[in-house]
Amino acid sequence: MADLVVQGDGAVVAGADAYVSLDFFRSYWEDEAPAVVAAATDGQCRAAIRAATIWVDGRYDFIGERSTQDLDRLELPRTGFVVVYDAEDGIDFRGGLVVTSGRTADYSGVIPKAFKQAVCEAAKLHLEEPLNAAPDHGGVVIREKVGPLETEFDTDAPAERSFDFIDNILADFVRARPGAAGRLARF
């Protein structure tokens, strides 16, 4: 499988298909070493990174505007990509900057650390089960019986997975939480 074309900070990279490199992905999971990542080939990891990048770009409605209107490229870098912080003074772990309450952080032209983290988390999930795989039910249990085992699911529950951890990583960079504005993910 072809190498990843990674979008870095600064100018738009032609043909970019990822926010992280294979080395970044492997090092992100190095200490935790989940079995699915450790067992995956480099080709499988590259495919998961590409899928995760597309998924992140399609799932969220980001603040700011694309640096270019070329629709065949990634959502980042962006212009007007400014976050206003209300929290106490300290380190913004999502972007890697030190910020002060009430101040703004301008991420225009850069790929925030949060995006790299979100892609790594999503790529791991994709290795476990494709991100675009829809469950056969909504996951809301309305009745369980212990012996003999029986489970009944609510047929009206939406058939979608929950990605709260990734949603929280990117919360400062989106206009609305996924699903709140009725936005559909493209994949």
Give tens-digit pLDDT for 35-60: 999 999 999 999 999 999 999 999 99
Q: Which two tokens stand for residue 1?
A: 């499988």
On whether residue 14 sits in a domain, the answer given is: no
- Total tally of structural domains belonging to the chain: 1
119 within domain boundaries: yes
Confidence tier at 12 by pLDDT (50, 70, 90)? confident
Instruction: Find the mean pLDDT for residues 21-28.
Output: 94
The verdict on residue 129 lying in a domain is: yes
Task: Evaluate whether residue 184 is within a structural domain.
Answer: no
Structure tokens at 184: 């559909």
Amino acid, single-letter form, for residue 185:
A
Distance CA 159, CA 153 (A): 11
Contact of 76 with 93, CB cutoff 8 Å:
no
Assign 159 to helix, strand or coil: coil
Read off the pLDDT of residues 155-184 as tens digits, 9 standing for 90 and up.
555 556 788 899 988 988 888 655 554 433
pLDDT of amino acid 151: 60
**Residue 124 domain-assigned (yes or no):** yes
Evaluate whether residue 113 is within a structural domain: yes
Q: Is the pLDDT of residue 14 over 90?
A: no
Q: What are the tokens at 151? A: 């489970």
Is residue 131 within 8 Å of 187, Cβ to Cβ?
yes
The answer to whether residue 9 sits within a structural domain is no
Q: Which domain holds residue 109?
A: 22-173
Confidence bin at 134 (pLDDT 50/70/90) = low
Q: Quick check: is 104 in a domain?
A: yes
For 100-131, the pLDDT digits (tens) are: 445 677 777 888 888 999 999 999 999 999 88
